[in-house]
Structure 1
Amino acid sequence: PTNTILDSLDAVRHYIESPTSCKCGLQCPLIIDKVFNFDPMKKSKSWEVVQVLE
């Protein structure tokens, strides 16, 4: 909704840590390095929190 470009893990981290960003729908704990991937060759897939914690 803010038209913020999230093109790196640092950009995602900064955006999510902002007090004005909505965190609704994000599963906790949010491990940014494991949840977000900017590799265009990697396929998207669904995941569960327990998979991220492994």
Structure 2
Amino acid sequence: MVRIDHRFGDITRTDRWPVPRRMEIRLMLGEAKLDFTHAVITHHTLHIDADLRIRGNLTW
């Protein structure tokens, strides 16, 4: 599992990043971008728990 707890700014996952089975993402006043184009995917499913607080934004 990967946990992202980010405030005030943007965060990205691009290029060849390992995709876990589960992600917990908490954002406040920022944006997270997950680019799966070149990601290393070894599982059949990905479960994402997203807590988008004040102006949090998640795109993929």
For the aligned pair, the TM-score class normalised by the smaller chain equals under 0.3
Query: Taking structure 1 as the reference length, what is the TM-score of the superposition?
Result: 0.21
Higher relative contact order (CA 8 A, sep 6+): 2
Which protein is bigger by CA-based radius of gyration? Answer: 1
Query: Taking structure 2 as the reference length, what is the TM-score of the superposition?
Result: 0.21
